[in-house]
Each structure stands twice: as C-alpha cells, then as structure tokens.
Amino acid sequence: MRAILSQCRIKQFAAAALMASIGSTTAWAAAQVDTNLPAADAPALVVPGYGPGIAGHVIEAPIARHCIPSIPCSRPVVNTTVLIVDRKTRETVGTAVTNASGNFLVTVPHNAYLLQVETVGTFPRCPQAQATVGLTDFVPVQITCDSGIR
C-alpha cells in the first residue's frame, strides 16, 4: 500500500512539475466545467502516463476597489488546501495544495466531484466547484474566490 501511495505522489509531483513548466494557467484553465456537456466537448489536459484527475486554478478577486485595465485585479490563492469530495457519498477522496501561482493538480478516479477550497477567516469566500473526471485526462477547473472588497 505504501508503494502505491508513493507512486501516486511521484506521479502527482511529476504532473505538477509539468503544469509549472507550462507557465500561465490560461493555457489550460477554463471556467467551471459545465457538467451538462458531453465528455468529448469538455476541455481536458492530457499528461501521458498520468491521470485521470483535476487540474485547478484558484484566484481571489477583486484585489482593489477600482480595477485599472493595465493592472491585474486578481491574485492567486496561495498555499491553501482544496478538498475533492465525491458528489454522491460526500466523502473526501483527495486533497491538493495550491502552489505560488494558485494551481493544483490531483489524481482521482473517474467520477463526479465537488471541490471545496479551505480558507482561514471570513474572506476570501470560495464557491464550491464541480468537476466530472473522465477515464484518462485531467479536467481543468478555475475557482474564483470573493475577496470581499467593494
């Protein structure tokens, strides 16, 4: 069992390193995945030898009262835990921690999941996101948390 867990962690680390090498998440991030779409229409990240799973990006917005076009009005939510919960049984089946860019990658079996971002304090408030993981690919999910700035 330890060997299997070790292999899973190595695969997650390798896939996370691949994601970090991609750079900007705009290459693979999408708005929350519409679970009403057929699987063939859903965006996916193919990492040969790894997966299936979820490739996510968590941001906080707005970060200023007045957003200026040349200055970003969002920032990544860094070093926070994302829980992967089975939609039917409500059991936590996996966790991931966001990196310095707000990205996370977690390998989970084919199924339908809810993603919950754990935050400390009142803000940011992060909505639950849904993801339906296919048989082989990583499903991209973007979660936008409310900073509370008005």
> pLDDT tens digits, residue range 103-116?
999 999 999 999 99
Cα separation, 103 vs 107, whole angstroms: 14
Q: How many domains does the chain have?
A: 1
Distance CA 64, CA 132 (A): 33
pTM of this prediction?
0.69
Model pLDDT for residues 35-51, shown as the tens digit of each residue: 444 444 555 667 666 77
d(CA 130, CA 141): 8
Q: What is the CATH number of the domain that holds 112?
A: 2.60.40.10
Q: Which domain holds residue 60?
A: 2-146
